Amino acid sequence: LRVLFAYAFDKTSDLALRYLAKWQKAGPIHISVAHVDWPPEQYARFGLQHGLSHTHNDPVVQGILERDVRRKVVEQLGTDPAEILIEPSFGSTEARLMQMIQSLRPDLVVCGTHQRTGLSRFWRGSVSLELARRCGSNILLVPSPGGEDTRIPIHREILAATDFTEAGDAAIRQAYSLLPAGGVVHLLHVTEPHHKSSNLVPNTESQTYTPTDHHRHLRHLHSRLERLKPADAEKQGCQTRIEIVEEADTASAICQTAERLGVDAVCIGFGGFGNLGTVFRNSVAQSVIERCPRPVLVVKPTVP
């Protein structure tokens, strides 16, 4: 049985994959997983500035989406799919899926359905309904049964962001405590971007802060992050990766890095409201909580 599964990053698709996993027990199934994306949305989500295109995915974007779809499929299906197809689209998602169906000619098309009605269907549309109307192949629409996934999540990779304050460093220690052996902690620090000097726009700071100074600054930040790694991290089997991002908007950089790396959760410090500095830092934490689609653990420093 050749199956084409139309995947979206939502709970409905995950539940439909879990339903499809039961079919594998009945006999061999060749499962191709298709995902349609809109490139500008992905560039914004991952914080990428180069190679902008409305019709083609940058190789970096393509790789990230393939990785994330594969992780989701293996998590729900229990096995690797036969192939993963990531296709960009400037138009409607269902139109691009129809082209893929006509090209692959599967025995069965499977996708989840939100069962939207009324104004919800009018404003948000329904990919599954359009496929059911126009698809020339057999199609199985799997409705969401409602309720939440009650399984305990497993954290394999965590992003720990620090501004080198006590609260930020406490978030790093907490991140390591959440991981099993073999897990990865990405230590992140966001720094202001270096602007090259220009004869047209006088800027005293950029003229005196040379590229050599900038590289030296980045190496210094890398060393500081390395020193924050707990002494027993390797003994516990945890890996560490250093991430330094140059971005003026700290909260955006944290959210985009979390998406780009595909981490399971984000740890960030919260310092209370003692002075203007902590109020500013906590506004970053609040913004990350509001904007990041992944679980966010807010860590307060230990009170002596």
Cα–Cα separations (whole angstroms), residue 276 to 31, 108, 169, 282, 283: 55, 59, 19, 10, 11
Interval 238-254: pLDDT, tens: 999 999 999 989 999 99
- Residues 259-272: b if buried by 16+ CB within 10 A, e if exposed: bbbbbbbbbbbbbe
Q: Where are the beta strands (DSSP E) in 132-183?
A: 138-143, 157-161
pLDDT tens, per residue, the chain with 304 residues: 899 999 999 888 988 898 888 888 888 899 999 999 988 889 889 988 765 677 788 899 999 999 999 999 998 888 898 899 999 988 788 888 998 999 999 999 998 887 555 555 444 557 777 888 877 788 988 887 655 667 788 899 999 999 998 888 899 999 999 998 889 999 999 998 876 554 444 554 445 668 888 899 999 999 999 999 998 888 888 999 999 999 989 999 999 999 999 999 999 988 654 444 554 556 888 899 999 999 999 988 765 5
The angle at the Cα of 291, spanning 285 to 292, to the nearest 5 degrees, equals 85
Output the pLDDT for position 282: 64
Cα–Cα separations (whole angstroms), residue 113 to 27, 35, 141, 237, 240: 25, 15, 6, 41, 39
Other beta carbons within 10 Å of 141:
16
Output the pLDDT for position 23: 86
Output the pLDDT for position 122: 44
Q: Counting beta carbons within 10 angstroms of the beta carbon of residue 140, is it exposed (0 to 12), middle (13 to 18) or buried (19 or more)?
A: middle
Q: How far apart are the first and last CA of the chain?
A: 63
Output the pLDDT for position 134: 78
Output the pLDDT for position 296: 94
Output the pLDDT for position 281: 56
Q: Of all residues in the chain, what percent carry a pLDDT higher than 90?
A: 40
Output the pLDDT for position 52: 66
Decide: pTM greater than 0.85. Answer: no
| Residue 156 · residue 184 · CB < 8 Å | yes
Tokens of 170: 């406490």
Output the pLDDT for position 201: 45
